[in-house]
Amino acid sequence: MKYLVTGATGFIGRFLIEKLLERRGATVYVLMRRSSADRFEGLCERLGATEDRLIPVWGDITRKGVIDAAALAHLSGEIAHVFHLAAVYDMNMSDAQADRVNNEGTANIVALTAALAGETGPAPCFHHVSSVAIAGADYEGVFTDDMFDEGQSVRHPYYRTKFQSEAIVREHCTVPWRIYRPGMVVGHSRTGEMDKIDGPYYLFKPIKRIRDKVPKWLPLLGIQGGQMPVAPVDYVVDAMVHIAHKKNLDGRAFFLIQDQPPTAGEMLRTFMRAAHGPDIVRNLPTHEWPASIEHQLKRLAGRLPMAEWMEKRLSKALGVPLSILGYVNNRATFDDANTRAALKGSGIKCPPLQDYAEILWNYWEMHMDYDVQIPEALLRRMQGKVVVITGASSGIGFMAAKKLAKAGAKICMIARTPAKLEETRAVIEKMGGQAFAYPCDLYKIADIDACTAQILKEHHHVDVLINNAGHSIRRSVFESLNRFHDYERTMQLNYFGAIRMIFNLLPSMAKRRTGHIINISSIGCLTNVPRFSAYVASKSALDAFSRCLSPEVGSRNINLTTIYMPLVRTPMIAPTKIYDYVPTLTPEQAGDMIVCAILEKPKRIASPLGTTAQISYALWPKVNDFVLHKAFHMFPSSKAARGRKAMREQDQKPNIPGRVLAALLPGPYW
């Protein structure tokens, strides 16, 4: 079967092409402008498609006829399905741009599809990708698959042209047609893949700011808002392809949305939880406000002096288009009865947002959040420098890699999992930095030797070594009496792995008479908190090693810095649910401590609390033991340490005195 697809290199288009190529004997023609030839090559590379199955057709949907006569003659009578996805989707688009692509482009593709039928061949089926936007931003009540022109307001260029382009298909298409109305399309539900900031993603930056500034235990208020008809791209494509090949569905429209979509407040709460931010415990019932009052307030706001200027300033400050904010109190609910009937028995169903929200968040935070702040001094210091970072594929290491790469350093990223490491390397390169992936199991000395030898062979020297990789265990000694291997493995990674890296890279630093070694230690080495004897002992060993090494290499201009890192919200601590209720640093704040170490080259960096604890332990050790003994009983052991298969969530929370202590003494690993 042969297909013609417009908008094939767009977000939905890429997944649609992949799905169509999975069908036996499928050949997909993609309509492309000559100027976008490189994008076609990228699509072929992404899909691993051969030139006999994925074929470009050069043309332009904004031009009458779209393709030349030779291409039309070649495709006439051959195409079974035409999928029209090409459109401009920009909430800040102009009317002229929207009309040219969304309306004129649709009319031209409708005419081309009719011409493709030929004189004798069967007519292709035309599949038009519309949007829930055809209901407008102010429609009240239920909007079904079968509804179209209900007198709804479609003033915004995007809403207007989606409505009008669907009308063009309904009124002028002479071949069988079907219309698909996706909701807010978000990333892939299994991988999180997304290509741009859009829809719910505009909320991610504000969510991140709240997460980083507001304590996890502090309850928040939100707003109820209207339904947010979200759908992951994989569901949208799976549903489209299935419906497209099912008989007797011509002349219908199909909403592609989640069943029982979340409200704006529920969506915000879901993403806040995915970001591990504070919980939204109550939503203000804004949806119950009379619509007439809301409309009057909007009209009044529009008449204020300098209203447009104020809107633009507010939009810029929030980082969210006001057209998106205006949709938060959406009063329409969507009934996808046609879609449910068409998908019955197929096994295709839109997953609820809470099942994949964390996947979306993690992908955004790693691949799309490029807002990395660095001081100008770092740019001058790190241009062309070779930096080795262990544990670089996530958390503190990845954030340090992003900051130093932005400053112009060459980042040698070391981590155990090759796929994860390659993924993070690609992110650094998308940011415009230089990164090199070196898979290495730091538990194995032979792997470390091979890795460092390869780094020196390829880069000849190392300017900065950041020993960041680490493993933490939260378990009391009495709970560890039969787990001696925990201590062996922790010491192997946190101590022996780190000093092997130093041993292998130190000679080249000494030869060049310059170098900087930064060891990420722990505030636990200063506070001596209970349950962390394995972790603190291993970090303390590295700390003592560094203090002994420092005077030996001072004459060779090699600096050593130990960072007594407070508790940081990284994947390492994620399984310990008690940390949801303990103040923590963000990876970006931790990355700033590493930047400070590089710029100032101090012997040590510690928080005021860590320094105070060290002094206190030296002067009043029994007082410290008394406080820590009380803390030991305030904070419960982990689920794994208790040896229970199931534990109630409330049993994993610290009690009220424990939360107060954690708030007063933020930073230690409790």
- Using only the alpha carbons of the chain, give its radius of gyration: 29
pLDDT for 311-325, tens place per residue?
Answer: 566 666 666 666 666
The token pair that represents 63 in the structure block? 């031009």
Q: How confident is the model at residue 176 (pLDDT cuts 50, 70, 90)?
A: very high
497 has pLDDT over 50:
yes
519 has pLDDT over 90:
yes
pLDDT for 21-39, tens place per residue?
Answer: 999 999 999 999 999 899 9
User: For 34-152, where are the E strands, in sequence order?
Assistant: 54-58, 81-84, 125-129, 141-144
Determine the residue type at 74.
H
Instruction: Tell me what pLDDT residue 367 has.
Output: 84
667 has pLDDT over 60:
no
Helix (H, G, I), strand (E, B) or coil at 136: coil
What DSSP string describes 377-429? HHHHHHTT-EEEEESTTSHHHHHHHHHHHHTT-EEEEEES-HHHHHHHHHHHH
What secondary structure letter does DSSP report for 305? Answer: T
In Å, how far are 169, 450, 472 from 492, measured between CA atoms? 66, 17, 12
Classify domain 382-664 by CATH number.
3.40.50.720
Q: How confident is the model at residue 94 (pLDDT cuts 50, 70, 90)?
A: confident
The token pair that represents 312 in the structure block? 């633009």
181 has pLDDT over 60:
yes
551 has pLDDT over 50:
yes
Instruction: Tell me what pLDDT residue 289 has.
Output: 55
* Phi, psi dihedrals of residue 539, rounded to the nearest 5°: -70, -35
Residues 6+ apart with CB under 8 A from 495: 538, 539, 541, 542, 545
- Provide the 10 A C-beta neighbour count for residue 305: 6
Higher pLDDT, 389 or 276: 389
Q: Are the CB atoms for 605 and 593 separated by under 8 Å?
A: yes
Helix (H, G, I), strand (E, B) or coil at 324: helix
CA–CA distance, 562 with 130 (Å, rounded to integer): 57
Q: Are the CB atoms for 394 and 420 separated by under 8 Å?
A: yes
Mean pLDDT of all residues belonging to the chain: 86
Q: How confident is the model at residue 160 (pLDDT cuts 50, 70, 90)?
A: very high
Q: Are the CB atoms for 564 and 603 separated by under 8 Å?
A: no
**For range 531-537, the mean pLDDT:** 90
Give the distance between the most distant pair of CA atoms in the chain.
97
**For range 441-463, the mean pLDDT:** 96
First CA to last CA distance, the chain: 62
Task: Work out the angle between the directed axes of helices 291-303 and 307-318 (0-180°, nearest 10).
Answer: 110
Q: Are the CB atoms for 390 and 469 separated by under 8 Å?
A: yes
pLDDT for 555-593, tens place per residue?
Answer: 999 999 999 988 776 655 555 555 555 556 778 888 999
From 207-216, 422-431, 594-603, the region with the lowest mean pLDDT:
207-216
Q: How confident is the model at residue 2 (pLDDT cuts 50, 70, 90)?
A: very high
* Phi, psi dihedrals of residue 331, rounded to the nearest 5°: -105, 5
**For range 149-163, the mean pLDDT:** 89
CA–CA distance, 355 with 190 (Å, rounded to integer): 10
Domains 1-182 and 382-664 share a fold: yes
| Runs of H (alpha helix) within 407-522 | 418-430, 445-459, 484-491, 498-512
Within 13 Å of residue 524, how many CA atoms lie on the same side as its CB? 23
CA–CA distance, 110 with 5 (Å, rounded to integer): 13
Determine the residue type at 219.
P
Q: Are the CB atoms for 85 and 127 separated by under 8 Å?
A: no
627 has pLDDT over 60:
yes
Residues 6+ apart with CB under 8 A from 478: none
283 has pLDDT over 80:
no
Q: Are the CB atoms for 256 and 340 separated by under 8 Å?
A: no
Domain ranges of the chain: 1-182, 382-664
Partnered with residue 67 across adjacent β-strands are 59
pLDDT for 232-280, tens place per residue?
Answer: 999 999 999 999 999 999 999 999 999 999 998 999 999 998 888 888 8
Locus of tokens 């569901």? 235
Annotate 3-40 with b (16+ C-beta within 10 A) or e (fewer): bbbbbbbbbbbbbbbbbbbeeeebbbbbbbeeebeeeb
In the CATH hierarchy, which fold is given to the domain comprising 1-182?
Rossmann fold (3.40.50)
Most confident of 415-424, 446-455, 529-538: 446-455
235 counts as catalytic: no
Q: How confident is the model at residue 607 (pLDDT cuts 50, 70, 90)?
A: confident
Helix (H) or strand (E) holding 32: strand 27-32
Higher pLDDT, 236 or 625: 236
CA–CA distance, 350 with 343 (Å, rounded to integer): 11
pLDDT for 69-90, tens place per residue?
Answer: 999 999 999 999 999 999 887 7
Instruction: Tell me what pLDDT residue 297 has.
Output: 47
Higher pLDDT, 297 or 219: 219
Helix (H, G, I), strand (E, B) or coil at 31: strand
468 has pLDDT over 90:
yes
Helices and strands (DSSP H and E) totals, the chain: 27, 20
Q: Which of 3, 363, 535, 579 is catalytic?
A: 535
Helix (H, G, I), strand (E, B) or coil at 65: coil
CA–CA distance, 566 with 625 (Å, rounded to integer): 20
**For range 528-538, the mean pLDDT:** 88
